[in-house]
Structure 1
Amino acid sequence: MELDLGAVRAFVAVADDRYFGDAAIRLEVSQQAVSKRIAKLEADLGVTLLSRTRGGAEPTEDGQEFLKHARALIGLADQAVEQLQGRRRPLRVDVLGTRLATMEVIRAFLSDHDTDLELVTPGLGADRSSLLPANVDAAFARVSAVSDPAIGRVPAYLEPARLVVGRRHPLARRRRVDMADLAGLTAWMPYTARASEWADFWRALCPEFGILIDTSGPNLGLEHHIDVLSRSKDRMGFVGEKMHVPWHPDVVQIPLFDPTPVYPFSLLWRHDNRHPALKLLVEHVQAGYRAFDPVRQWLPAADRAAMR
């Protein structure tokens, strides 16, 4: 039996993204094409690789076992193509989302280094099954520890959080807000209903400061989130200081203090990756990182040692 590399690539994409539509966008094919490729692969192998649920597709037990070999197969194929083409492809970096602070790190890197770089953005709230997706050279993520010795990690950026409220909210006229002032108030976070890097962070923060969490939906994206907050007298939200938030005339952002919550981004890469620009990116991130200050900043306990 001969494996169809396109079908294997489609399986890995869905395993990483969880959604057939997202995988189709990444592969630049139709969602129907992705479904057909995976169906054929499952038929050829005689096993079910993916379990379809409301929350997306997840690898089955057989799928998890096959996924390790599938990643290796695609990696070897990509390396072979690169060598035959006789040129280097762009450095592919997963920045999580183009609205996030990781874009500031990339912009600073490109201003210092003339290199070809391609962004990979799975989207805010994506629950990735892999710390380092197979289709990238490096990735930003919230990771306190890496058990795989093949993957390198350095702390990359600590992004201060800001409070977001509508102008009718009692805190709207404040120039700063201490975390103690938020005790008993409700943060509207429909995006925390699903497991994700962000959801885990906020679910650690809110109980520690007595903040209530409302996960009621729907979660229709950042624009909708801001619009709902603009009309509320009691709901509040949080964004990153460097996050590109849609402007709204009836919404204000307020700095948080005593302590300032900071969201931890790390940079991940594979030690066997020989892309010439990867070393430059790692060195740039290390040089620009400002370590965690336990007196003025707050992190979940699981992140503190890793981000110092």
Structure 2
Amino acid sequence: MDLDLAQVRAFVAVARLSHFGRAAEQLFVSQQALSKRIARLESVLGVRLFDRGSRGVALTEAGRRFLEPAQRALDAADLAVLEARREQPPLRIDVWGHLFGPVRMIGPVIERGVRAELGFSRDAAAAMTALTRGEIDAGFGRVPLPVDRQFQHRPVRLEPVDAVVNADHPLATADRARPVDLRGSTVWCPAPLRRLDFLDRLTDHFGLDAESAEVNLGLEHFLGHLTGDRVAVLPAGVQLPADTDLRRIRLVDPTPLYTWSLLWRRGRRLDALLRASAQAATRHGWLDYDPTRHWLPESLDATTHG
């Protein structure tokens, strides 16, 4: 039996996300096309892979057995593509937002069959200039919206953010807090708010006070000045420096999400990179979003269409 990998990829995306609409967005196809692929796959296999009901979609027993072998088949196919393209020049990708560790996000993407060379831009504006000049093929980081029509963008991850405080802070013993609970504290920022799109919107929306460092000398230096009533707001995956007495507090009700996106010039074909980013997002659940639990400073429609 010859399996169609596009159909298998559609199945894995829906299985990982438990949602046809979000899976279609990640694979850059219509929901109708996605449904047809899965229907054809079920027909070829002669089994039903999903139970579809009013509460959503769930794997059948056959679907659960098929999932991991299907994922391994896709991984093998991606490796085959990488080997076949080994002689092609690598993509030039600039990343920014270094305080928040963008490489930990783009790494799992380019490891999935994409040859790339990473450069390091100071900010999104510098990356856009490099894209306009043809010096790079793509950028990766937080993309302030809206963007100029000459560019396109796609989210790779919606990452929850945490509050980080020193051991003497009034919230230091809490394991979770609401964003509004940070009122009375001062959000400690690594640069002026006019240069920090996410923190600017977050502090404005939740009515929080902010204070900015005079110079950004890296995460350890930044957190070394987290004293008094100051609180840092960092993506949840950012590793705190060792041997510090800092406390990480999960933000809930709602949980703010930090958007990591790919950015490129309109018309530039980056099929392999976009496919790899969609696969990584599906595999890790990076684009999970629930408007009843999460807060985005921009609309989800704005982050997913560019």
- Do both share a fold (TM > 0.5)? yes
Structure 1 residue runs without a partner (length 5+):
1-86
Q: How far, CA to CA, are the matches of 2:99 and 2:191 in structure 1?
A: 16
Say if 1:132 and 1:145 are closer, same or farther in 2 by CA, change over 3 A. farther
Identity of aligned residues (%): 33
Q: Is the contact made by 1:182 and 1:210 (CA closer than 8 Å) also made in structure 2?
A: no
Look up the match of 1:130: 128
Say if 1:129 and 1:118 are closer, same or farther in 2 by CA, change over 3 A. closer
User: Deviation digits for residues 41-99 of structure 1, max 9, x if unmatched?
Assistant: xxxxxxxxxxxxxxxxxxxxxxxxxxxxxxxxxxxxxxxxxxxxxx6321111221556
Look up the match of 1:223: 220
Look up the match of 2:275: 283
User: Deviation digits for residues 159-216 of structure 1, max 9, x if unmatched?
Assistant: 11111111111111111111121122211224125x43xx122111112222111125
Structure 2 residue runs without a partner (length 5+):
1-86
Q: How far, CA to CA, are the matches of 1:104 and 1:225 in structure 2?
A: 19
For residues 1-308 of structure 1, what are the structure 2 equivalents within 5 Å?
A: 88-97=88-97, 100=100, 102-113=102-113, 115-123=114-122, 127-128=125-126, 130=128, 133=131, 134-140=134-140, 141-148=142-149, 150-193=150-193, 195-196=194-195, 199-215=196-212, 217-229=214-226, 232-273=227-268, 278-287=270-279, 288=281, 289-300=286-297, 302-307=298-303
Which consecutive aligned stretches of 4+ in structure 1 deviate over 4 angstroms post-superposition? Answer: none
AA at the equivalent of 1:207:
D
SS at match of 1:243: coil
Cα root mean square deviation, aligned: 2.6
Q: How far, CA to CA, are the matches of 1:267 and 1:203 in structure 2?
A: 21
Q: How far, CA to CA, are the matches of 1:118 and 1:254 in structure 2?
A: 35
Q: How far, CA to CA, are the matches of 2:135 and 2:249 in structure 1?
A: 37
Q: How far, CA to CA, are the matches of 1:285 and 1:129 in structure 2?
A: 19
AA at the equivalent of 2:154:
V
Q: Is the contact made by 2:159 and 2:258 (CA closer than 8 Å) also made in structure 1?
A: yes
SS at match of 1:202: helix
Q: Is the contact made by 1:179 and 1:256 (CA closer than 8 Å) also made in structure 2?
A: yes
Say if 1:216 and 1:118 are closer, same or farther in 2 by CA, change over 3 A. closer
Q: Is the contact made by 2:189 and 2:211 (CA closer than 8 Å) also made in structure 1?
A: yes
